[in-house]
Amino acid sequence: MASITDPSFSDRFTSAMEEIHKEQLKTYGEIIDMTVELCQAHTQSVKSALDTCLKKCKDDVMLFDTIQTFKTDLLQKNVSLKEKKHAISEMTTEIQQKEMQKDAIIQKMEKLGEDQVRRKELIESQNKANKNRLKNLQKARVVFQEHLGMEIRTIQGKTQLSKGEKLQFVFRNINPSDQDSAYVVTMGIKDDGSYQIVSSDPALECLPVLESRLQETNNLAAFLANVRKEFISQIRS
């Protein structure tokens, strides 16, 4: 073993320590370089992660704004849809009411048409009946006026009961002692076309019976003949 007093030992020791120091410095340098590289890599990784996070956050913000916009649009569309449904419901109700009104108008028009047909038939029937009565009147007028001296007058009724145009049949040659003495029966025509006996002068008790018979037979000539007979019978009694 070399003695520490050996002058060369100190040089070798110093040289060995320098080598060790160099090796350590080299190792430290490598460690520092590695640390720097790791720091740089970590920094780059953190920066990349931060950029990614910032981009993700920005995208999330945009996505949130888009979702919020969609929600707002959806809410507005729901409100608009609700209003349209309400408007459609009101329109449907109005259409149904108009359909009901149309059906009611159609029914009323049909009823008016039926009533008009009935009125037309009634008028035609009354006209026909009036024509027949006019013929009977004309026949009765010829018979009684030419052969029995009867006079037919047209008068206007004054009382509420006899209101309207009436006919007076004036009989003469009834009383043998007074041939010019007038015996009168007044009659008219009701709205339904039937005869209506208003009065007789002098009064005949059997006049309602004669009127009823006239309504049944519609034979005016026979009625007037029977009235004349009753007037003659009244004079003789």
Per-residue 3-state assignment (H helix, E strand, C coil) for 55-86: HHHHHHHHHHHHHHHHHHHHHHHHHHHHHHHH
pLDDT of residue 206: 92
Q: Structure pTM?
A: 0.43
Residue 196 falls within a domain, yes or no? yes
pLDDT of residue 140: 62
Residue 228 falls within a domain, yes or no? yes
Residue 43 falls within a domain, yes or no? no
CATH value at residue 223: 3.30.457.50
Residue 103 falls within a domain, yes or no? no
pLDDT of residue 161: 46
Q: What is the CA radius of gyration of the chain?
A: 67
C-alpha–C-alpha distance, residues 85 and 95, integer Å: 15
pLDDT of residue 183: 92
pLDDT (tens digit per residue) in 14-46 = 888 888 888 888 887 788 878 888 878 878 888
Residue 87 falls within a domain, yes or no? no
Residue 145 falls within a domain, yes or no? yes
Q: Which residues of the chain have pLDDT under 70?
A: 1-7, 123, 126, 129-130, 133-134, 136-149, 157-164
Question: Which residues neighbour 8 within 8 Å (Cβ) at sequence distance 6 or greater?
Answer: 2
Domain that holds residue 148: 132-236
State the total domains in the chain. 1
